[in-house]
């Protein structure tokens, strides 16, 4: 492998590590996609504000203010590392408020001509990425109102809430700072827009897939119910027989399996003929699926978790050599 290929591989591995940082094993597809977006978004913000802080150091030198602005750029890395807290709405809202106060301070410290106030709009444009309009309407309106209130207060006080930095006036850095801040605020706005669009696209795609899956599941459930009714009829089960076995299943009664075998005498022997010697718990699971009970119902009736039932179904699928493209309950009902 050439040095160039090794470098490309390392770069790809680093990019993948950063993008997938903090993804939980139990996360659903939407949570996984959104975590990747957050990681990429925060890294980009870090680089934008890091170079912005370097530019400020060039203009103002190494001062308390320039060091503070440099520290803010590294705060984006810190937010990414604190994966347990970055989805906390209260913490995110507090971060927006703090950043708004920082913009307010430096709008006066650098003066109106510096264009620092343009970052108010960058903050406003970032709100749709971190919050959902339907779920977080109150939080969005509060933060947006707070940011706009600070903007109007700054304007009313003629950008003189704090003393202006004399170095900026003496060396006439106003126009250079204006160009710098306009450039970086537009850059942040473009990043905000890009990630908001990616988020919208992902949510739209997953919602379409979920709708398709729901319709497919409903169709499969209807098919299973027809199969079950036909088999109940073939076994000459009365309504009372069906209610009896269902009640035993719901109560997780120890006699459930005996009663099931009485009504379906050949079921387990057919499974045994397929080369799978099932243990008692696996027979119990197969019997419940034979009654067309879904994962949630089985978890409720057996006083276990959905994840536990899914794990048992997975192991059972392997044991019975059920094809991966075949729904396990459908396969059980087809016996």
> In whole numbers, what is the pLDDT of the chain averaged over residues?
81
The last residue of a domain, from among 171, 204, 237:
204
Asked whether residue 230 carries a pLDDT value surpassing 60, the answer given is no
Asked whether residue 83 carries a pLDDT value surpassing 80, the answer given is no
Confidence (pTM): 0.59
pLDDT band at 25 (very low <50, low <70, confident <90, very high): low
In whole angstroms, give the CA distance from residue 189 to residue 185. 6
Check if the beta carbon of residue 97 is closer than 8 Å to that of residue 143. yes
Q: What's the total number of domains in the chain? A: 2
**Looking at the domain assignment, is residue 212 inside a domain?**
no
Check if the beta carbon of residue 290 is closer than 8 Å to that of residue 267. yes
Check if the beta carbon of residue 292 is closer than 8 Å to that of residue 319. no
**Looking at the domain assignment, is residue 41 inside a domain?**
yes
Same domain for 167 and 224, yes or no, is no
Asked whether residue 23 carries a pLDDT value surpassing 90, the answer given is no
**Centroid of chain to Cα 324:** 27
In whole angstroms, give the CA distance from residue 74 to residue 70. 7
In whole angstroms, give the CA distance from residue 126 to residue 119. 11
Report pLDDT digits (tens) over 233-258. Answer: 555 566 777 778 888 888 888 888 88
Select from 216, 194, 195, 202 the least CA-distant residue to 29. Answer: 202
Same domain for 141 and 247, yes or no, is no
Same domain for 92 and 172, yes or no, is yes
**Looking at the domain assignment, is residue 54 inside a domain?**
yes
In whole angstroms, give the CA distance from residue 58 to residue 64. 14
Select from 117, 238, 266 the least CA-distant residue to 185. Answer: 117
Same domain for 101 and 160, yes or no, is yes
If DSSP codes are grouped into helix, strand and coil, which group holds residue 152?
helix
pLDDT value at residue 221: 61
Same domain for 71 and 143, yes or no, is yes
Same domain for 159 and 51, yes or no, is yes
User: Computed over its alpha carbons, how large is the radius of gyration of the chain?
Assistant: 31
pLDDT value at residue 220: 60
**Looking at the domain assignment, is residue 91 inside a domain?**
yes
The last residue of a domain, from among 204, 237, 253:
204
Select from 177, 211, 228 the least CA-distant residue to 66. Answer: 177
In whole angstroms, give the CA distance from residue 159 to residue 154. 5
In whole angstroms, give the CA distance from residue 271 to residue 168. 84
User: Percentage of the chain surpassing pLDDT 90?
Assistant: 16
pLDDT value at residue 135: 84
Q: Which domain holds residue 68?
A: 3-19+28-204
**Looking at the domain assignment, is residue 93 inside a domain?**
yes
**Looking at the domain assignment, is residue 236 inside a domain?**
yes
What average pLDDT score do residues 311-329 get?
A: 83
pLDDT value at residue 146: 96
Same domain for 152 and 272, yes or no, is no
pLDDT value at residue 68: 86
Q: Please indicate whether residue 197 or residue 206 has the higher confidence score (pLDDT).
A: 197
Asked whether residue 60 carries a pLDDT value surpassing 80, the answer given is no
Same domain for 87 and 193, yes or no, is yes
DSSP per-residue string spanning 82-129: -TTTTT-HHHHHHHHHHHHHHHHHHHHHH-GGGTGGGHHHHHHHHHHH
Same domain for 181 and 237, yes or no, is no
**Looking at the domain assignment, is residue 297 inside a domain?**
yes
Mapping DSSP onto H, E and C, the string for 240-268 reads HHHHHHHHHHHCCCCCHHHHHHHHCCCHH
User: Residue 259 burial (CB < 10 Å; 0-12/13-18/19+)?
Assistant: middle
pLDDT value at residue 216: 59
Same domain for 37 and 151, yes or no, is yes
pLDDT value at residue 318: 85
pLDDT value at residue 175: 84
Same domain for 271 and 152, yes or no, is no
**Looking at the domain assignment, is residue 150 inside a domain?**
yes
Helices H, strands E: what count in the chain?
15, 0
Same domain for 34 and 90, yes or no, is yes
The last residue of a domain, from among 204, 226, 250:
204
Tally of residues, the chain: 335
């Amino acid at each position: 492998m050439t040095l160039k290929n090794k470098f490309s591989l390392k770069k790809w591995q680093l990019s993948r590590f950063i993008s997938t940082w903090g993804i939980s094993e139990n996360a659903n597809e939407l949570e996984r996609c959104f975590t990747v977006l957050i990681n990429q978004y925060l890294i980009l913000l870090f680089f934008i504000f890091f170079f912005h802080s370097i530019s400020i150091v060039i203009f103002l030198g190494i001062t308390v203010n320039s060091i503070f602005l440099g520290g803010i750029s590294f705060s984006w890395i810190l937010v990414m590392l604190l994966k347990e807290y970055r989805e906390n709405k209260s913490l995110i809202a507090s971060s927006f408020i703090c950043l708004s106060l920082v913009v307010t301070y430096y709008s006066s410290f650098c003066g109106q001509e510096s264009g620092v106030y343009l970052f108010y709009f960058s903050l406003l444009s970032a709100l749709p990425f971190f919050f959902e309009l339907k779920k977080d309407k109150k939080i969005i309106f509060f933060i947006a109102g707070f940011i706009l209130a600070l903007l109007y207060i700054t304007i009313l006080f003629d950008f003189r809430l704090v003393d202006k930095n004399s170095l900026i006036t003496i060396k006439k850095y106003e126009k250079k700072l204006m160009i710098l801040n306009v450039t970086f605020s537009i850059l942040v706005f473009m990043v905000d827009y890009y990630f908001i669009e990616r988020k919208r696209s992902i949510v739209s795609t997953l919602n379409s897939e979920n709708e398709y899956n729901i319709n497919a599941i409903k169709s499969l459930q209807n098919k299973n119910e027809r199969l079950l009714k036909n088999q109940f009829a073939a076994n000459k089960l009365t309504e009372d027989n069906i209610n009896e076995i269902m009640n035993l299943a719901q109560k997780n009664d120890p006699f459930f399996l005996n009663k099931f075998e009485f009504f379906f005498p050949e079921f387990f022997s057919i499974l045994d003929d397929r080369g799978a010697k099932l243990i008692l718990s696996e027979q119990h699971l197969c019997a419940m699926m034979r009654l067309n009970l879904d994962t949630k119902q089985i978890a409720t009736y057996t006083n276990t978790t959905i994840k536990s039932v899914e794990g048992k179904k997975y192991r059972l699928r392997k044991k019975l050599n059920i094809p991966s493209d075949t729904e396990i309950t459908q396969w059980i009902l087809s016996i």
